[in-house]
A and B are shown apart, each in its own frame.
Chain A
Amino acid sequence: MAASIRRSRISRISESFKIAISEIWRQTPGKAALVLFILLVAMAVIAVVTITPDFLVKWESASYWEDNPVVVPPCWVNSLGYKTAKTAQIYFTTPSSMEVSESEVRYIYTYNYTLDVNEAPKDLYVKAEVPLLCEEGVFKAPTIRVTVERPDGIVVLAWDMVIEPGKTGENVTLTCGSLLSAKTSKETFRLAEVTSAIMDKYNITVPTEIAGTNETYVITANSIMRTTIRTELENKYLTILSVFVKPISYKISLNRNTTTLEVFSKQINNLKTTFLDLGINIVLRDKIIEALDYAANNITWVINNINTVTYTDYLIAMNNAYENLNNVNKLALAASAPVDVRSSVDDLTKTLGKFIEVATTTPSLIQPEIVFDVLQGDYRVNVTITYYGVKNPPRALSAKIGIIVKGGCYGILGTADKGVDIATVVLYGTPIALAIGFATAVASVFIGVIAGIVSGYYGGFIDEAIQRTVDVLGNIPLLPILIIVGSVAQRTFTGEAKSLYIILTYIGILIIFGWGGTAITVRAMTLSIKEEPYIEAAKALGASNTRIIFKHILPQVLIYAAAVLVFNVPGAIITEAGLSVLGLRHGWPTWGSVLSSARAENRFDVWWWILPPGLMLSLTSLTFVLLGLAIERIVEPRLRTL
């Protein structure tokens, strides 16, 4: 009997619920609201099902998003005319191929990356977790070798390193099969080899009309150029990105400025005058003058032929001058020339020596200029894990190899600072936002309805007390209270659940200040319902106060309460977001916290950072406003009867 009554009550409630939904669906804004609402709930469900427990704690740490490029737009912008390299984060658990020879076994992991825009990726690295093999009690640590086959045919050996167990002297107890991890870096990149490979491929050499014919000097000139190119790649392409570039033009010139040479020449002539005036051994003096003349002539020759001289001839002449000056130095010592004269000869010799040294080690004489551009096309990245001396290599290596190319775009919604994936945070922010909104709305409407009914039905002292409380609460601005209590909460709460407690504090304050409006309206409704004849009839039949309230008043108030509840949901969500933007961060991945980080980093120029969370806030808010309006239209005739 009781069960059937209960069932009939449930069926009645579900019946009226169905009617309400169809009433809402009949209105255009109501339809939009329902569709949006279902989308929101779907997002929330997906988020709750897929979220990992550590996400709430770790989402703000940079290491969690290590493989993502930082502050890049979503990838679909390429169809809007943006040009961005795509991002690849490929993790292998099985090798692409395996080669076994007598002395070694190689596991090869291959990934093909296509670069189809004129922009180099931002980073390239390989992460490896490989097992330590052992055979007959001997540990076998592997080497890792990363080669890149470029579209232009060059095969670049980018990294070649031994994976060493327990690097920094920690107490690692190694066992067979324990995993060793390694990550390639800028420091271990073989830039010298890559530079040489590029120079060979594109025949970048110093031309004979610049370098001359002397083999040593040709080699010197080329090595200066190599160093320059290397520095360029290091600075402009952050070392690693040299994998993705090719030279498009280069120009090598000889410094034809003679100012320094003229200074040398003048100083030698000055020395000559000095020596001519000295009263020293005449034979030695003549020899000194002769050597100075030779030196001067060599330099003058360079000055006179500066427009045609080659690097070889230039340096040979300078070396001759240097030898002669050295000679002068010795002769001056033999002739016991005055100390000041000898030291000025010595100084000049040293300066000239320095000049030659600089000319053979830095781009001071040989001045290469080279322009690089991005090399588009198909790249093939090969990661080779090699074990030496393993007789029975395992077929399935329990290794995890990651090849990461950080491009200029990422995912559906791009990334924020630290590489935070905005799509993920926006998705996981949905259930939190809805929870905050509903918790606040339900609790404050619940309190409001109860207070309103009690106040209206019983009247007297209780009514007066509730009304005055509502008066005072209505006079208080909410924001400053939220801020001071929020910052107290931030200081007071510690530990793992800190974020939760802070949010609960916000919700608590919002509830305390949120029930007043509902209470006033419900009180008015109760007052008018109380005067209805059927209430009097019920009282006459001996119905208790509880029965009258639950049977006659509450059902009429409820549908109004539903409208208020729906209207109240977005307020709390937006307030929480606003507090985050104001700097009161709680640490959970909410829409507000994404916007807050944009505020903190001062990056309002990044549209993909501020649009999605703000749009979600606005759409959520709009959903409930429209839903509320639709419900209100159903309620309206009842409200008019008041």
Chain B
Amino acid sequence: MPGAGSVILRRGLILLVTFVIIVIVVAAIVEGTGYSKDIYEAMIREIVNGEVMALRRGGNITEAFIEQYKKNRTYQLMVEFELIDENGNEIPPYRRMWSLVYRSLLFNFTKTDKVGVANVVPTTAPADVASIIAAVLPRTIIVVTVGEAIAIVIALLIGPRVAYRHGSLADRFTVAYAAIITAVPLWWLAMIFIQVFSYNLGWFPRDLRGVATVLNEFWNNPLNNFVEILRYITMPITAFVIWSLGSWLYGLRAMLLRVIREDYVMAAKARGIPERLVTRRYVLRVSLAPVITSVILALAGSIGGMIITESVFNWPGMGTLYYAAIQEGDSMTLLALTIVYVGVYLVARFILEILYIIIDPRVRVR
């Protein structure tokens, strides 16, 4: 099916272009405001100080030599980081930013010396920013995908029942639940969860940072650690499911109500096909594509909500890394997180769009 291939290729291209545009815009903002200059200067200071300390440990070096060394090395590094050119002239931001764009597109970030940031993994500072993000990213993806999957399954189970009894008490309850729960910020729900289930009832840990160690040493004792991870992950996933179920149920219900009234569904019923079969083959199959559309549209919102929520739970994923980087004023990590976040989001979106094309035959023909 050449149609599908070209559609996928086009979408992929658009998303790739979007990514490049975002990287360029972000680079322009951080370079234009002098924000990145701070990053570079801090980095250079760090490197030079480290080298001077190593020199001192070697012994027998005069202060004058060290001063000279500092000066030379700083200059050298400034050239290296493209803050100045070979002649010592300052490179303007609009030229400098392209090296940042290039590096960001390759996910080539430097090291961070902030202990608080490294502790999220946990590892020792200074640590490579890219590897820190690589370590915490799966933890976020697990919560979002597992939570999203559970929410979809529950919605698919409950949705048709509610839609068939349009106007019933259960139906009205669903609508009210959806309206109320979507009005509540997910991260505030998380705070309530911590208060009730961790402090008042004592069922779960008050701080989920500890899961990092369990995850890192998972293979030492898989069974025990799995149970331990469940103890940590239950709260974030439950909060996420309760929250996202609201919009799922509402959206699915609206979709089903439209499909149920279609003539072919009536015809199928009239033919005497069992209601369950009608639901599965004639109603749900058709509703699935729009459902995926709404997943795609809600993706940014649910990842974003989960990022803030993670930081509330202190779940050591992207959100907590964000919080640590903001607290420590770690600009390099913040920049890297932005690029990676956008990249991951676009990839997830691309995967969902491929899924959409596979499920919905109409797109292939178009």
Known: A477-B303, A595-B188, A598-B191. A618 touches B312 (CB 8 A): no
Chain A residue at minimal CB-CB distance from B303:
A477
Contacts of A584 in B (CB 8 A): 326
A481 vs B339: C-alpha distance when bound (angstroms): 9
Inter-subunit contact A483/B334 (CB<8 Å): yes
Known: A484-B29, A487-B326. A475 touches B15 (CB 8 A): yes
Contacts of B195 in A (CB 8 A): 604-605, 607, 610
B327 at the binding interface (Cβ < 8 Å): yes
Inter-subunit contact A485/B191 (CB<8 Å): no
Inter-subunit contact B183/A610 (CB<8 Å): no
Inter-subunit contact A478/B33 (CB<8 Å): no
A481 vs B198: C-alpha distance when bound (angstroms): 33
A491 at the binding interface (Cβ < 8 Å): yes
Known: A477-B303, A584-B326. A622 touches B308 (CB 8 A): no
Contacts of B35 in A (CB 8 A): 487-488, 491-492
Segment touching A, from B18-26, B54-62, B70-78, B142-150: B18-26
A629 at the binding interface (Cβ < 8 Å): yes
Contacts of B81 in A (CB 8 A): none
Contact of A617 among B188, B194, B319, B331 (CB under 8 A): B188
Inter-subunit contact B300/A618 (CB<8 Å): no
Known: A481-B338, A484-B335, A625-B183. A472 touches B345 (CB 8 A): no
Contacts of B187 in A (CB 8 A): 578, 581
Nearest Cβ distance between residue B252 and chain A, in whole angstroms?
A: 18
Inter-subunit contact A604/B300 (CB<8 Å): no
B102 at the binding interface (Cβ < 8 Å): no
B5 at the binding interface (Cβ < 8 Å): no
A481 vs B323: C-alpha distance when bound (angstroms): 15
A577 vs B207: C-alpha distance when bound (angstroms): 21
8 Å CB contacts to B: which residues of A578-618? Answer: 578, 581-584, 595, 598-599, 602, 604-605, 607, 610-611, 614, 617-618
B240 at the binding interface (Cβ < 8 Å): no
Chain A residue at minimal CB-CB distance from B318:
A480
Inter-subunit contact A484/B185 (CB<8 Å): no
A604 vs B33: C-alpha distance when bound (angstroms): 36
8 Å CB contacts to B: which residues of A460-518? Answer: 471-472, 475-481, 483-485, 487-488, 491-492
A577 vs B192: C-alpha distance when bound (angstroms): 16
Inter-subunit contact B326/A604 (CB<8 Å): no
B342 at the binding interface (Cβ < 8 Å): yes
A621 at the binding interface (Cβ < 8 Å): yes
A570 at the binding interface (Cβ < 8 Å): yes
Contact of A581 among B17, B180, B308 (CB under 8 A): B308
A488 vs B180: C-alpha distance when bound (angstroms): 35
Contacts of B342 in A (CB 8 A): 476-477, 480-481
A472 vs B188: C-alpha distance when bound (angstroms): 31
Inter-subunit contact A475/B183 (CB<8 Å): no
8 Å CB contacts to B: which residues of A353-376? Answer: none
Inter-subunit contact A582/B15 (CB<8 Å): no
Q: Mark B34-61, 1 if CB is under 8 A from A, else 0.
A: 1100100000000000000000000000
Contacts of A621 in B (CB 8 A): 182-185
Nearest Cβ distance between residue A333 and chain B, in whole angstroms?
A: 60
B341 at the binding interface (Cβ < 8 Å): yes
Inter-subunit contact A476/B29 (CB<8 Å): no
Inter-subunit contact A485/B29 (CB<8 Å): yes
Contacts of B341 in A (CB 8 A): 477, 479-480
Inter-subunit contact B21/A472 (CB<8 Å): yes
A605 vs B185: C-alpha distance when bound (angstroms): 18
A626 at the binding interface (Cβ < 8 Å): yes
A492 vs B300: C-alpha distance when bound (angstroms): 27
Nearest Cβ distance between residue B249 and chain A, in whole angstroms?
A: 15
> Which secondary structure dominates where chain A touches chain B?
helix
Chain B residue at minimal CB-CB distance from A476:
B22
Inter-subunit contact B30/A488 (CB<8 Å): yes
* Size bin of chain B's contact surface: 35 or more
Nearest Cβ distance between residue B173 and chain A, in whole angstroms?
A: 14
Contacts of A492 in B (CB 8 A): 33-35
Known: A480-B341, A618-B185. A625 touches B179 (CB 8 A): yes
B264 at the binding interface (Cβ < 8 Å): no
Contacts of B38 in A (CB 8 A): 491
Nearest Cβ distance between residue A157 and chain B, in whole angstroms?
A: 43
A146 vs B312: C-alpha distance when bound (angstroms): 47
Q: Mark B103-136, 1 if CB is under 8 A from A, else 0.
A: 0000000000000000000000000000000000
A471, A583, A598 — most chain B CB neighbours (10 Å): A583
Known: A487-B334, A629-B179. A583 touches B304 (CB 8 A): no
B322 at the binding interface (Cβ < 8 Å): yes
A582 vs B30: C-alpha distance when bound (angstroms): 20
Contacts of A254 in B (CB 8 A): none
Contacts of B311 in A (CB 8 A): 581-583, 599
B14 at the binding interface (Cβ < 8 Å): yes
Nearest Cβ distance between residue A535 and chain B, in whole angstroms?
A: 30
Nearest Cβ distance between residue B294 and chain A, in whole angstroms?
A: 13
B219 at the binding interface (Cβ < 8 Å): no
Q: Mark B334-360, 1 if CB is under 8 A from A, else 0.
A: 110110011001100100000000000
A368 vs B210: C-alpha distance when bound (angstroms): 46
B307 at the binding interface (Cβ < 8 Å): yes
Inter-subunit contact A478/B300 (CB<8 Å): yes
B226 at the binding interface (Cβ < 8 Å): no
Chain B residue at minimal CB-CB distance from A513:
B300
Known: A581-B311, A604-B199. A479 touches B300 (CB 8 A): yes
Inter-subunit contact A481/B345 (CB<8 Å): no
A34 at the binding interface (Cβ < 8 Å): no
Contacts of A614 in B (CB 8 A): 184-185, 188, 191-192
A309 at the binding interface (Cβ < 8 Å): no
Inter-subunit contact A476/B18 (CB<8 Å): yes
A574 at the binding interface (Cβ < 8 Å): yes
Inter-subunit contact A583/B15 (CB<8 Å): no
Inter-subunit contact A618/B322 (CB<8 Å): no
8 Å CB contacts to B: which residues of A437-481? Answer: 471-472, 475-481
Contact of A477 among B17, B21, B180, B300 (CB under 8 A): B300
Chain A residue at minimal CB-CB distance from B195:
A604
Contacts of B323 in A (CB 8 A): 582-583
A365 vs B30: C-alpha distance when bound (angstroms): 72
Q: Mark A28-41, 1 if CB is under 8 A from B, else 0.
A: 01000000000000
A570, A581, A584, A617 — most chain B CB neighbours (10 Å): A581
Nearest Cβ distance between residue B302 and chain A, in whole angstroms?
A: 11
A477 vs B343: C-alpha distance when bound (angstroms): 10
Inter-subunit contact B18/A472 (CB<8 Å): yes
Q: Mark B180-220, 1 if CB is under 8 A from A, else 0.
A: 10111101100110110011000000110000000000000
A605 vs B201: C-alpha distance when bound (angstroms): 11
Inter-subunit contact A583/B326 (CB<8 Å): yes
A622 vs B179: C-alpha distance when bound (angstroms): 7
Nearest Cβ distance between residue A428 and chain B, in whole angstroms?
A: 19
A578 vs B308: C-alpha distance when bound (angstroms): 7
Known: A477-B345, A583-B326. A618 touches B183 (CB 8 A): yes
Nearest Cβ distance between residue B328 and chain A, in whole angstroms?
A: 10
A480, A484, A492 — most chain B CB neighbours (10 Å): A480
Chain B residue at minimal CB-CB distance from A491:
B35
Nearest Cβ distance between residue B311 and chain A, in whole angstroms?
A: 6
Contacts of A477 in B (CB 8 A): 300, 303-304, 341-342, 345
Contacts of A574 in B (CB 8 A): 185
Nearest Cβ distance between residue A597 and chain B, in whole angstroms?
A: 12
Contacts of B33 in A (CB 8 A): 488, 491-492
Beyond A480-B342, A583-B323, 10 additional contacts (C-beta under 8 Å) are: A475-B18, A477-B342, A479-B307, A480-B338, A483-B334, A484-B338, A487-B326, A491-B33, A583-B322, A595-B188
A-B pairs, 3 with minimum CB distance? A479-B304, A621-B183, A622-B183
Query: What are 19 contact pairs spanning A and B, CB under 8 A?
Result: A472-B17, A476-B22, A479-B341, A483-B334, A483-B338, A484-B334, A487-B326, A487-B331, A488-B29, A574-B185, A578-B308, A581-B187, A595-B191, A602-B207, A614-B185, A618-B183, A618-B184, A618-B185, A622-B179
